[in-house]
Amino acid sequence: MNVTYSVFIKIVSRLLDAWKMPLRPFTWFMWIVLFFTFIYESITLMTAQGFISDKVFLSTFGMMLSQSLPNVGTTWRIRSVTGWVLITGLIIDNAYGSGLASVYTVPEYEKTIDTAQDIVDGNIEWGASNEAWIYSLTSSTEPLVKQLLRQFRVFPPEVLTRKSLNRSIALSIERLSSGNARRLLDEVGASQFREISF
């Protein structure tokens, strides 16, 4: 393809949502395993106490956070289960603490979009105020370009501006011979994009 076509894409420098930070040290699979571990340990402790469920879930949760119990119990069975739950809690706490320190030390950003393939893979809508932007691409037989054409949308400039401020669209911008690009957005909108060519 011998045509250079400019597209302004979402900048990837935005940090991921801060409220998700406490969940990031573990994967979703690990959180599910942790939940089932909590249930299993609670049932085991309840069984060791002779099926007495008095504060068993609260005690197990506390031990998984490496908190000691005021009354461990008198039998060997209860002390054994309590010891294993405390060891499990210690391992989980250390893994979580290390992961949390890593998440807070090295921030995570949105996924990078650097190529036309990234636009296709991310199923990102892109568009302009007129279909003239894609005429030079319609004759291409490349599967990537065909998929890009299916993702192209035509919107009035007001809608393009609104969608760009919401960061929900990539924009087609004309590349002039001087190297400057004609912008459809004000400075606030344009600052959220960066140029890639394909």
> Both 123 and 193 in a single domain?
yes
| Whole-number Å distance between alpha carbons of 154 and 177 | 24
CA nearest to 21, candidates 105, 104, 106, 109: 104
The confidence score (pLDDT) of residue 12 equals 46
| Cα distances (angstroms) measured from residue 2 to each of 23, 50, 136, 139, 198 | 46, 78, 10, 12, 9
For residue 141, being part of any structural domain is answered with: yes
CATH for 177: 3.40.190
Q: DSSP string spanning 32-72?
A: HHHHHHHHHHHHHHHHHTTS--TTHHHHHHHHHTTPPPS--
Segment 132-141 shows an average pLDDT of 79
Give the domain-ending residue among 105, 122, 141: 105
Among 105, 124, 155, where does a domain finish? 105
Helix (H) or strand (E) holding 193: strand 193-197
pLDDT per position as a tens digit, 96-117: 999 888 888 877 777 777 777 8
Full domain range(s) for residue 52: 18-105
* CB-neighbour burial class of residue 170 (10 A; exposed 0-12, middle 13-18, buried 19+): buried
**Which of 190, 75, 170 has its CA nearest to residue 123?**
170
pLDDT, residue 14, reads 65
Residue 115 sits in the same domain as residue 192: yes
Q: Which pLDDT score, from 0 to 100, does residue 198 have? A: 53
Position 136 pLDDT exceeds 80: no
Residue 144: which pLDDT band, with cuts at 50, 70 and 90? Answer: confident
Mode of pairing for the β-strands spanning 170-173 and 126-128: parallel
Is 1 part of any domain? no
pLDDT tens-digit series, residues 156-167:
878 877 877 777
Domain termination site, one of 105, 139, 160: 105
Does the pLDDT value for residue 8 go beyond 80?
no
Provide the domain count of the chain. 2
- Do residue 119 and residue 191 come from a single domain? yes
In a domain, 43, yes or no: yes
